[in-house]
């Protein structure tokens, strides 16, 4: 039996970041020039992991739902798109600077972090009580009656309410006052010497056209959703879609984030996976509930502990939304948004109708009338999902014999390499035999050949990149055509015939098996 080392959130996060670099998952962009802030490159292990997560999402959406069509819209769009979507006028974050450290923060995030600290106090009380009362512990009762918990919860509710009121009224002075009243200090300087709160637009602008008089300002898209809205009519007509139907896409989005920290959690260039579901007005709440459950199911199917996920209802709804929530994930730095699920009414299509002068309506044969459909969207950041998988599966273990290993227990269907092919020693015809096996199996899944160093070291290297299976070719293989297959998490080995390798590995790592559990 192995034991998993306990790490604090901070230690865990630091270890994940350095592991990601050391094993070729993620590199800082332009590192030889000291990097570009909040921009990252995916390395030889990161790129396949990211592709596999994207594939899992795409196939769960597009392949498994007959009524969801997948598209790939351009990053550049007509500038009026961003007028219509509201991004030119209102895609702002409230920012605040600390005069002593000269550091810039998102004012709302400072307040949310403060709330998270109070939440942590509550959780500590609950954990302590759970241990004290054991089996007979009634958590709901404890949360509603324990004076310290009740008082802290009241504080949280009051702060949330004040923040919501201020943001709805665009009362930036009120937001600043809240920061002062809560005695929030700058994490760097430790002081409360804050500037005013100002709004800052997050879109990157650039010029299109070669002659400067003709050039027009266009934007790098800050979300992929608008590429779907402007193609609503195209897909509806050419795909002969019937409501309810969805359009899905994955692709890059760009935001000039004020506070770009926390590794790939908040980047300036990132990738989104979004699906807009067009429904008959009046049925949107039913579909909102449907997609909340369906998306949670997609996450849980991966086998990552369900305690790491929770729903969080938005305290401040955008003016056009009639329901919105996040799926939050427990990253090493706490529960944060991983995915958003929003009921957006007919806001986007109506606005594009007004700005483009084109009718964006659906003719409903059952009702015999045309209308602008309502939209329920699901929107998840691919990079955030990558970080969720990496941080939840990273483990440092002490083995029975006292040695250590670092392992990524990535769900097999997502693992960058599915199977390593290892000749026990680099001589005696074993490498040749191993190559022969590799050449037979490499068509079905990603394999890696490794003959260097001791077998123990090679197993550790594969554990560290999350390879679920290692095939070892030894002297017995030359006699009877059998190999050992070692499973990453249990480290158990069994002997199988070489002709079985392909089938056994394929069965256990297959995306197909994973997808069949989602539905
Ligand atoms: P946040 O509140 O964290 O800024 P948001 O509410 O602005 O996120 P949305 O506009 O709803 O995010 O975007 C949908 C998803 O895109 C988010 O749930 C997140 O996973 C991802 N995402 C948004 N901004 C970033 C970013 N800067 N870097 C990486 N992923 C992002």
- Average pLDDT of every residue of the chain: 94
DSSP character at residue 183: T
Decide: 376 and 343 in contact? Cβ < 8 Å: yes
Q: Which of 201, 222, 248 is the last residue of a domain?
A: 201
State the sign of the Cα–Cα–Cα–Cα dihedral 280, 285, 291, 297: negative
Residue 115 has pLDDT above 70, yes or no: yes
What CATH code is carried by the domain that includes residue 469? 3.40.50.800
| Ramachandran region, residue 366 (left: φ > 0; alpha: ψ -120 to 50; beta: rest) | alpha
Residue 172 falls within a domain, yes or no?
yes
Of 513, 517, 384, which Cα lies nearest the Cα of 445? 513
Q: Which of 338, 448, 340, 418 is nearest to 386 (CA)?
A: 338
Q: Where are the beta strands (DSSP E) in 361-412?
A: 362-364, 369-371, 374-381, 394-398, 404-408
From 320, 323, 381, 383, mutation site for ligand 1 pocket: most ligand atoms within 8 A of C-beta: 381
Q: How many CB atoms lie within 10 A of CB 474?
A: 20
| Ligand 1 centre distance from Cα of residue 441 (Å) | 39
Residue 170 resides in a domain:
yes
Nearest to 446 by CA among 469, 418, 424: 418
Nearest protein Cα to ligand 1, atom 26: 266
Domain end residue (candidates: 175, 201, 227): 201
Confidence of residue 211 (pLDDT cuts 50, 70, 90): low
Question: How many angstroms from the chain centroid is the CA of residue 420?
Answer: 27
Split into its structural domains, the chain has a count of: 2
Q: Are 270 and 383 in contact (CB under 8 A)?
A: yes
* Residue 108 resides in a domain: yes
Residue closest via CA to ligand 1's atom 16 equals 381
**β-bridge pairing 469-473 and 419-423:** parallel
- The alpha helices in 394-494, defined as continuous H runs, are 430-441, 455-465, 475-480
Is there a domain that residue 193 lies in? yes
* Closest ligand 1 atom to 379 CA: 14
Residue 366 in domain: no
**Residue minimizing CA distance to atom 3 of ligand 1:** 337
Sign, Cα dihedral of 154, 158, 164, 165: positive
pLDDT band at 355 (very low <50, low <70, confident <90, very high): very high
Residue 376 forms part of a structural domain: no
Give tens-digit pLDDT for 145-183. 999 999 999 999 999 999 989 988 889 999 999 999 999
Pocket test for ligand 1, best of 116, 379, 385 (most atoms within 8 A of CB): 379
Nearest protein Cα to ligand 1, atom 21: 381
Nearest to 290 by CA among 56, 59, 65, 515: 65
The residue-averaged pLDDT of 317-329 equals 90
Distance from the alpha carbon of residue 381 to the mean position of ligand 1, in angstroms:
6
- The pLDDT tens digits of the residues spanning 70-100 come to 999 999 999 999 999 999 988 888 999 999 9
Of 190, 40, 197, which is closest to residue 105 (Cα–Cα)?
A: 197
Q: How far is CA 430 from CA 475, 480, 486, in A?
A: 7, 13, 18
Q: Residue 214: its pLDDT value, please?
A: 64
- Taking 3-state DSSP, the helix, strand and coil percentages for the chain, each rounded to the nearest 5, stand at 45, 25, 30
Q: What angle do CA 231, 233, 234 make, to 5 degrees?
A: 65
pLDDT at residue 258, rounded to an integer: 80
> What would the pLDDT profile of 233-250 be if each residue is shown by its tens digit?
999 999 999 999 999 999
Q: Which of 82, 94, 340 to mutate to test the pocket of ligand 1 (most atoms within 8 A of CB)?
A: 340
CATH assignment at residue 113: 3.30.40.230
Question: Is residue 1's pLDDT more than 80?
Answer: no
267 CA: nearest ligand 1 atom: 28
Read off the pLDDT of each residue in 332-347 and give the average, rounded to a whole number.
96
Q: Which of 272, 273, 292, 326 to mutate to test the pocket of ligand 1 (most atoms within 8 A of CB)?
A: 272
- Give the residue-averaged pLDDT of 458-476: 97
**Cα of 422 from ligand 1 centre, angstroms:** 41
The pLDDT assigned to 193 comes to 95
Kindly tell me the sign of the dihedral angle through the C-alpha atoms of 226, 232, 238, 240: positive
Would you tell me how many other CB atoms lie within 10 Å of the CB of residue 391?
24
Give the Å distance between the CA of 259 and the centre of ligand 1: 13
Tell me whether strands 469-473 and 447-449 are parallel, antiparallel or unpaired.
Answer: unpaired
Nearest alpha carbon, ligand 1 atom 23: 381
Query: Ligand 1: distance of its center to the CA of 115 in Å?
Result: 20
Q: What is the pLDDT of residue 213?
A: 64
Given a contact cutoff of 8 angstroms between Cβ atoms, the answer to whether 378 and 291 are in contact is yes
Please tell me the distance from the alpha carbon of residue 32 to that of residue 143, in angstroms, as a whole number: 52
| DSSP SS3 for 268 | coil
Q: Are strands 104-106 and 198-201 parallel, antiparallel or unpaired?
A: unpaired
Residue nearest ligand 1's atom 20 by CA? 381
Pairing mode, strands 493-497 and 374-381? unpaired
Judge contact between 106 and 258, C-beta under 8 A: yes
Residues sharing a CB contact under 8 Å with residue 169, sequence separation 6 or more, in sequence order = none
Residue 188 belongs to a domain: yes
Residue 219 belongs to some domain of the structure: no
Question: Which atom in ligand 1 lies closest to the alpha carbon of residue 385?
Answer: 20
Distance 177 CA to ligand 1 centre (A): 26
| Ligand 1 residue neighbourhood (C-beta within 6 Å) | 223, 255, 257, 266-267, 270, 272, 337-340, 379-381, 383-384
Q: Which domain holds residue 194?
A: 92-201
Domain final residue, candidates 201, 218, 251: 201
């Amino acid at each position: 039996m192995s034991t998993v080392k306990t790490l604090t959130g901070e230690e865990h996060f630091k270890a994940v970041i350095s592991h990601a670099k050391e094993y070729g998952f993620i590199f800082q962009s332009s590192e030889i020039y000291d990097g570009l802030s909040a921009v990252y490159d995916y390395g030889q292990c990161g790129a396949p992991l990211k592709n596999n997560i994207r594939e899992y999402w795409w196939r769960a959406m597009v392949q498994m739902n007959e009524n969801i069509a997948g598209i790939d819209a351009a990053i550049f769009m007509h500038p009026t798109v961003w007028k219509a979507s509201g991004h030119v006028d209102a895609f702002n974050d409230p920012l605040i600077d600390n005069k002593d450290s000269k550091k810039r923060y998102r004012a709302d995030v400072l307040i949310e972090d403060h709330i998270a600290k109070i939440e942590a106090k509550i959780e500590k009380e609950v954990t302590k009580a759970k241990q004290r009362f054991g089996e007979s512990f009634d958590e709901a009762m404890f949360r509603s009656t324990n004076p310290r918990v009740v008082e802290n919860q009241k504080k949280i509710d009051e702060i949330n309410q004040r923040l919501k009121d201020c943001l709805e009224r665009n009362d930036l002075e009120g937001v600043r006052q809240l920061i002062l009243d809560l005695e929030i200090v700058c994490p760097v300087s430790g002081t409360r010497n804050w500037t005013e709160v100002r709004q800052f637009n997050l879109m990157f602008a650039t010029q299109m056209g070669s002659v400067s008089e003709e050039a027009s300002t266009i934007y790098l898209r800050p979300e992929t959703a608008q590429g779907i809205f402007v193609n609503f009519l195209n897909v509806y007509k050419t795909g002969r879609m019937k409501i309810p139907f969805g359009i899905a896409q994955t692709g890059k989005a760009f935001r000039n984030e004020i506070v770009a920290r926390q590794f790939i959690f908040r980047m300036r260039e990132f990738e989104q996976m979004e699906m807009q579901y067009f429904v008959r007005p009046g049925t949107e709440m039913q579909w909102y509930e449907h997609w909340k459950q369906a998306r949670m199911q997609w996450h849980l199917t991966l086998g990552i502990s369900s305690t790491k996920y929770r729903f969080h209802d938005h305290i401040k709804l955008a003016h056009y939304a009639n329901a919105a929530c996040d799926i939050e994930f427990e990253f090493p730095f706490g529960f944060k948004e991983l995915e958003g699920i929003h009921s957006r009414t007919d806001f986007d299509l109506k606005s594009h109708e007004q700005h483009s002068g084109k009718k964006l309506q659906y003719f409903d044969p059952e009702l015999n009338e045309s209308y602008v459909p309502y939209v329920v969207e699901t929107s998840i950041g691919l990079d955030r999902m990558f970080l969720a998988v990496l941080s939840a599966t990273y483990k440092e273990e002490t083995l029975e014999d006292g040695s250590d290993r670092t392992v990524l227990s990535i769900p097999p269907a997502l693992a960058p390499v599915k199977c390593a092919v290892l000749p026990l020693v680099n001589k005696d015809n074993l490498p040749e035999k191993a190559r022969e096996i590799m050449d037979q199996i490499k068509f079905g899944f990603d394999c890696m050949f490794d003959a260097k160093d001791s077998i123990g070291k090679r197993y550790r290297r594969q554990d560290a990149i999350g390879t679920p299976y290692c095939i070892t070719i030894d002297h017995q293989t030359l006699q009877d055509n059998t190999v050992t297959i070692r499973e990453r998490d249990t480290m158990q080995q069994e002997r199988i015939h070489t002709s079985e390798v392909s089938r056994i590995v394929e069965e256990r790592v297959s995306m197909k098996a994973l997808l069949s559990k989602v539905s």
